[in-house]
Amino acid sequence: MNKAAIGVLISGRGSNFVAIADSIDAGRIPNAEIAVVISNKEDAKGIQVARQRGLQYAISPTKDRKREAQEREVLSILKAFRISLACLAGYMRILSPALVQECRKLGITILNIHPSLLPLFPGEHAHRDVLAAGVKESGCTVHIVDEEVDHGPILVQRRVPVLPGDTEDLLAARVLVQEHLAYTEAINLVLSGDYKVDGRRFVKG
């Protein structure tokens, strides 16, 4: 059986990308391979790791470029590597509805990981917002990307406590451990093909 080709999109550290790559190498994601790692930043640490691991990578800079041209480039990379599953993993750009729709037409599912229990605390400063709100629990969410930000059907959520004395960094580190597990679970769910999407609901089996 052909393995599903995953494209991972990053902007920085890339620890979620590494967790996915480790899961593939360890056989925890049996039916897939990372065909390409795409970064909008040339100096992303994750790109160094991709290089060290002998993975294909591509840089598609966003700085000083029109969004449309950059997104066309991303799409052509996804097509060139025959990607069926694009995993946003700390990719710090919002995808335009046009790109999301184009991917849907091509049969490319896009996943995103967000460091809160969506629909609570969407946006760029999830941990800060969690701490400011005084909630006692947070976590992470892997969801299918739709035309709205941090909004699409939820596949997996994992929880952590918010502890007295937490800082953004402490909370982020606790959530990150769960992110790494959540992405593997979510990828396996999608690759099983055994689900349907009903509005904003992801329904297994």
Task: Based on the shown chain and the rule CB under 6 A, indicate whether residue 16 belongs to the binding site for ligand GRF.
Answer: yes
Q: Would you tell me how many other CB atoms lie within 10 Å of the CB of residue 204?
A: 9
What amino acid is encoded at 14 in this protein? G
Task: Based on the shown chain and the rule CB under 6 A, indicate whether residue 114 belongs to the binding site for ligand GRF.
Answer: yes
Among 5-13, 55-63, 71-79, 161-169, the segment contacting ligand GRF (CB under 6 A): 5-13
Alpha carbons 195 and 15: distance in angstroms, whole number = 28
Specify the residue, 114 or 143, whose C-beta has the smaller distance to ligand GRF.
Answer: 114
State the nearest-atom distance from the C-beta of 24 to ligand GRF, in Å. 15
**Residues 76-105 within binding reach of ligand GRF (CB under 6 A):** 89-90
Task: Based on the shown chain and the rule CB under 6 A, indicate whether residue 14 belongs to the binding site for ligand GRF.
Answer: yes
Task: Based on the shown chain and the rule CB under 6 A, indicate whether residue 113 belongs to the binding site for ligand GRF.
Answer: yes
Residues with Cβ < 8 Å from 63, sequence gap 6 or more? Answer: 40
Among 10-18, 70-78, 95-103, 186-194, the segment contacting ligand GRF (CB under 6 A): 10-18
Alpha carbons 27 and 41: distance in angstroms, whole number = 30
* Known catalytic residue at 114: yes
Task: Based on the shown chain and the rule CB under 6 A, indicate whether residue 141 belongs to the binding site for ligand GRF.
Answer: no
Segments in 53-134 forming alpha helices (H): 67-80, 97-106, 126-133
Alpha carbons 106 and 57: distance in angstroms, whole number = 21
Task: Residue 183: name the closest of 1, 34, 11 by CA.
Answer: 34
Q: Match 């790494």 to its residue by tokens.
A: 180
Among 64-72, 100-108, 113-121, 156-164, the segment contacting ligand GRF (CB under 6 A): 113-121
User: Which residues are part of the catalytic machinery?
Assistant: 114
Chain positions contacting ligand GRF, by CB under 6 A: 10, 12-16, 89-90, 113-115, 176, 179
